[in-house]
Structure 1
Amino acid sequence: MAQPDPKDLMKRYVRWPLEAGVFWLWLAIFALLPVETASNVGGWLGRHVGPHLRLSRRATRNLRLAMPELSAEQRSRIVREMWDNLGRTAAEYAHLRTIGDPAEGRVECIGLENARATTSGQKPGVAFSAHFANWEVLHLVAAERSRRSASIVRDPNNPLVSQILTIRRSVHGGQLAPKGTNGARTALATLGANGLVAMLIDQRMSDGIAVPFFAHTAMTAPAAAQMAVRFDAHFFPVRLERIGPARFRMTVLPSLELPTEGSRAERIGTLMTQANAILEQWIREQPGQWLWLHRRWPKETYRELGL
C-alpha cells in the first residue's frame, strides 16, 4: 500500500482548514458591521496593506505593459485604488444578500431592456464582463432578474473555502457553474432553455486563443463566444462600476452582432477580439477598478519588454 504523501496530508488537514477558518472569521467580523462600514473598513485595509505586498509587483508590471505612458506616480495611485477596491470587495462578501436585494437600491441597473428577450426566456443570452468593481454583482443581478441563469465561476483550490463561497454567492439563487466539464454542461443546458449565462472573460487561459489586449497578444478563453455562436445567442457586454461604498452601477450594453462570414473559428476570434477591445476601453477609463493582479499576458511578452 502506498504511503500517504505528507505534503498532501498537511494540505488537507492543516492548511485547508486553517484557510477556511480565517475566511469564515473574516466574513463573521464584517457581517457584524453595517454594509457601508464594512466596505469602508475593507477599503482602508486594502489600500494600506495591499501596496506593500509582493503581489503588487505583478500589478505594477501589468500596468507598465498595458499602459507604458503612465508615470510611476500614476501607476502607484492606480495600484492603491485597485487594492482599495479589492479590500472592499472582500469585505462585501459578508453582505452579498443585502447588496443584491433590489429593495436596498445598491445596484443601479441601466440598459436592462437590452437583455429583456433573454431574462424573459425568449432567446438565450451570454453576458460577459471582467473583474471590475465587485464582480459578484453580475451573478447577483442575473439571478434576481432572469427566469433562468447560470454564472460560470472559478472555484478556489481549497474545497472548504469553496463551500463557504458558494453559500455566499447563492443567496439570491441562480446556478453556479464551476469551470470544467460539469460547469459546461450546466451552461449549455441553461442556454438550451433560453436562459442567461454570465461569465468573466479577463483571465489568462493557456490553451485559449490569441487575441489582442492592450496591443499585446493575450491567450483568451473563447467559451463565451463559442456558446453565443453555437446557440445564436445574444452576446451582451456588461459594465460594472463602483459608485460608492457597497454601491454599484451595472450597465447592460446592446448585444454585439454575431459575425456571419468566415469559419466558425474565425467568427469566434472576431467576437473575442471585439470583447477584449470593450474591456480595454473600460479599463482605460477606470483603471483603479480593475483587478491588475492576474498574469494576463504570456511570460515571453514580459521578458521581451524587460518586465
Structure 2
Amino acid sequence: MRTGGTAQVAKAQDGNPWTRRAILALLEVPRLLPYRMRLPVIGWLMAYVFAPLAGYRRRVRDNLHYVLPDLPEREVRRLCRAVPANTGRMLAEITSGQRFIDEIARTPMQGPGLPALDAARAARRPIVIVSGHFGNFDAARCALAQRGHQIGALYRPVDDPALDRLFHDVLSRIAAPVFPRGRKGLGSMVKFLRKGNAVAILLDQYVHEGTPLTFFGKAARTSLSAAEMALKYDALLVPVYGIRRGHGFEIVAEAPVPHSDPATMTQAINDSLEARVRADLDQWLWIHRRWKPELEAAQG
C-alpha cells in the first residue's frame, strides 16, 4: 500500500540522479506559479515531457490493450496523454500544502457511507478506508481529516533521501500520521487503528503473494490485508474516492463493505474501484502494472 501516486513516479528515479533532478524540478519550479496555473502546467509537463521519457505511454497502452482490447485507438491515444496529466496534476496539488488543504476543506463529502463513518468516529470504532490510485486519493484522505477523523496511512519510502523527505513531509501535511512501509511501520499503523482511529489503504497493486482475484475481468493478485484487519479489529471497511471534477473534486464515501470473508470483501472492493475507473478512465493510474499475465502463466 502507498498513499497517492507519489511513490509510483518516484520509483522511476531510483538510481538515476538526472531523473531525480527532473522530478524535483517538476515539483518545485511550478510552485512559483499561481495555484490554478501550476496544475495544468505540471500536468502538461508530465504528459508531454516526462511520460514519454519514462515509457509511461507504452505502459498505459499495454494495460489498456490487455483489459480493454476493443477500446478505439483514438481513445487509447487520448488516455496515453490524459493519464500522466492526471498524475501530474495530483503531484501539483499535494505539494501545494495549505492551498490544497483549503480547497478540500471547501469540498463537502457525499455518499451513502457518510452516516456509518460519522457513527464509527463518534463510537471510537476502528475504520479502514480503502481506495485506489484514482483521481486524487489524497484529496479523500484530506477530506476525512477535515471532517474530524484521525487518519493514518502507510507510504512507500523512496531510496533517494531528498525525495523521501519531500514526499513524507507532503503527505504528513495533508493528514498525519504517515507510516513508512515495513514491519515497524505496519506495527505502528495497527496500533494506531486499534485505538479507534482510521487508516487508509490502496489495494490496486499487484502483490506477488496476494490472492488471484479479478479486476476488469482479468486475474489481479490482490492483498487481503484491509479486509483481514477489518475482521480482526471489527473495523468499518469503506471505499472512499476523490474524483476529479473540473477544478475541484467529488469526494464520495460508498456504503460500507459487509463483513464476510477476506476474499469476498476484497473482491467487492475491486468491483467498486473498477466501476469508478470505467466511469472515468483517465483518472486511474494505468501507468503501473496491475496485471502480470506472464507471471500468472508461469505459475499456472
Q: TM-score range by the shorter chain?
A: 0.7 to 0.9
1:49 aligns to 2:43 (yes or no): no
1:63 aligns to 2:97 (yes or no): no
**Which one of 123, 126, 129 corresponds to residue 124 of structure 1?**
126
Instruction: Say whether the 8 Å CA contact 2:56–2:84 is kept in structure 1.
Output: no
Q: CA deviation at 1:110?
A: 1.2
Distance 1:276 1:116, change over 3 A: same
**Which one of 262, 272, 275 corresponds to residue 278 of structure 1?**
272
In structure 2, the partner of 1:37 is 37
In structure 1, the partner of 2:282 is 288
Distance 1:132 1:173, change over 3 A: closer
Distance 1:137 1:121, change over 3 A: farther
Aligned counterparts of 1:288 and 1:301: Cα–Cα separation in 2: 27
Unpaired runs of 5+ in structure 2?
1-13
In structure 1, the partner of 2:185 is 183
Task: Encode CA deviations 1:151-195: one digit per residue, 9 max, x unaligned.
Answer: 122222323311111111111442102222122112211221111
State percent identity of aligned pairs: 28
Aligned counterparts of 2:148 and 2:221: Cα–Cα separation in 1: 31
Of stretches 110-119 and 190-199 in structure 1, the one that deviates more from structure 2 is 110-119
SS in 2 for 1:156: coil
Distance 1:103 1:199, change over 3 A: closer
Aligned counterparts of 2:142 and 2:104: Cα–Cα separation in 1: 13
TM-score normalized by the length of structure 2: 0.85
TM-score normalized by the length of structure 1: 0.83
Task: Encode CA deviations 1:256-296: one digit per residue, 9 max, x unaligned.
Answer: 1111xxxxxxx111111111111111111111000001111
Written as runs of structure 1 = structure 2, the 5 A alignment for 1:258-273 is 258-259=259-260, 267-273=261-267
Q: CA deviation at 1:103?
A: 7.7
Instruction: Say whether the 8 Å CA contact 1:108–1:248 is kept in structure 2.
Output: no
Aligned counterparts of 1:103 and 1:43: Cα–Cα separation in 2: 19
In structure 1, the partner of 2:3 is none
SS in 2 for 1:229: helix
Partner amino acid, structure 2, of 1:169: L
Distance 1:123 1:22, change over 3 A: same
Q: CA deviation at 1:116?
A: 0.5
1:74 aligns to 2:75 (yes or no): yes
Partner amino acid, structure 2, of 1:270: T
